[in-house]
Amino acid sequence: MTEMVHGAVPVSAGDPILPRWWRTIDRWTMSCVLLLFAIGLLLGLAASPPLASRNGLDPFYYVQRQAFFGCVALIVMFGISMMSPQMVRRFAVLGFGLGFLSLVLLPIFGTDFGKGAVRWYSFGFASVQPSEFLKPGFVVAAAWVMAAGQEVGGPPGKSISFVMAVTIVMFLALQPDFGQAALVLFSWGVMYFVAGAPMLLLVILGGMVALAGTAAYNSSEHFARRIDGFLNPDLDPTTQIGYATSAIREGGLFGVGVGEGQVKWSLPDAHTDFIIAVAAEEYGLICVALILILYCAVVVRSLARLTKERDPFIRLAGCGLACSFAVQAMINMGVAVRLLPAKGMTLPFVSYGGSSVIASGIAVGMLLAFTRQRPQGEIGDLLLRRGR
């Protein structure tokens, strides 16, 4: 009777966890993520020794740290991917609460490391950027509220999620961190659109974002300097963007050769924000194209599997996580080729950074959990039966 109502059941609830996880997980997406992490370590071997040398450290100090944080991220990713959607939701809501509290306390206990923006907690041996961990928790919590609002007698989920997003954006703007604020707004907008928001309302919200950007330009010297530099047709070759674009141009199709790149000696953030410039210079367009294909594969496969999902919460949360992952990668690479204003944002699983790689592991682990095959049948099966 169950199969008549819900379609064929691919797994049995009594199966051991690991075999059931292996049969239901999206192995292609998982493989792409592992390849991205491996490419990140390879690029770290090229990009980080100059920085380590300037800081008087072992040449592979940053690579070793990246390998450690990456292993932690992969363990977290695999662990979360084995959870049920209900367990992921509870974990995410708890993480969202802790992340938001950390964000609120950041102006009091945080540090800027001399970069002019208070975004980190420093613990001596390591630093933590709470906004990185807040994003996946916010996406899942907002999706839960939106899905609850679609039920009969449910709360005003869209309005509550909007207040959540605006509150987070305000605290991020105070740091200032307009890049993370844009990611939060974008992920919320994607879920709002998938939940059935009218286009007119989205256009109005876009106008409000434009007005907020204008206000930020007029009130923040840091923000205005970034925008002016982006709009200036004359590119200063001694700036970070200048070095990055020159490196990409020098790399050509096949690159200048392993270890032969020069941009890593000029850019202080070659191992983080501009890692794609190192890839383009030493390995050429071929390597950059491979990285792009891997990111596209993760997002497209995830969205394709989510189209078959019947649970609105899972659809909303999965779409928000996948699109946030994609846009973060797009912003990082867009800045390097001067398609977007300069913004300190890492390339998921590829750039150096403990907070970034572990937060990416959490987000992708949630995405893998939401896109697992479950004994529910496909939404198309249900629509076909209703048509009969």
Q: Where are the domains of the chain?
A: 19-374
For 172-187, write each residue's pLDDT tens digit.
988 888 888 889 999 9
- Given a cut of 70, whether residue 37 has pLDDT beyond it is yes
Reported as a pLDDT band with limits 50, 70 and 90, residue 83 is very high
Reported as a pLDDT band with limits 50, 70 and 90, residue 38 is very high
Where on the phi/psi map is residue 2: left (φ > 0), alpha (ψ -120 to 50), or beta?
A: alpha
Q: What is the mean pLDDT of residues 38-57?
A: 88
Q: How far apart are CA 194 and CA 191, in angstroms?
A: 5
- Per-residue pLDDT, 223: 73
Looking at per-residue pLDDT, the higher value among 312 and 119 belongs to 312
Q: How far apart are CA 277 and CA 47, in angstroms?
A: 10
For 192-207, write each residue's pLDDT tens digit.
988 887 777 778 877 8
List CB contacts of 163: < 8 A, sequence separation 6 or more: none
Alpha-helical segments (H) within the chain: 2-6, 17-24, 27-47, 49-54, 61-81, 85-109, 130-149, 157-173, 178-194, 199-219, 221-231, 240-251, 263-266, 275-306, 312-336, 354-370, 379-387
Reported as a pLDDT band with limits 50, 70 and 90, residue 8 is very low
pTM, two decimals, is 0.88
Greatest alpha-carbon pair distance for the chain in Å reads: 73
- Per-residue pLDDT, 68: 94
Tokens of 237: 């070759």
- Given a cut of 50, whether residue 9 has pLDDT beyond it is no
- Given a cut of 60, whether residue 214 has pLDDT beyond it is yes
Cβ burial, residue 237 (10 Å; 0-12/13-18/19+):
exposed
Q: How many residues does the chain have?
A: 388
- Given a cut of 50, whether residue 2 has pLDDT beyond it is no
Reported as a pLDDT band with limits 50, 70 and 90, residue 17 is confident
- Given a cut of 50, whether residue 109 has pLDDT beyond it is yes
- Per-residue pLDDT, 387: 52
- Given a cut of 60, whether residue 377 has pLDDT beyond it is no
Q: How far apart are CA 133 and CA 98, in angstroms?
A: 9
Most confident of 43-47, 86-90, 147-151: 86-90
Reported as a pLDDT band with limits 50, 70 and 90, residue 254 is confident
Whether 194 and 181 have beta carbons less than 8 Å apart is answered as no
Choice among 156-160, 193-197, 251-255, 266-270 with the minimum mean pLDDT: 266-270
Q: Give the orientation angle of helix 130-149 with respect to helix 178-194, to 10 degrees.
A: 20
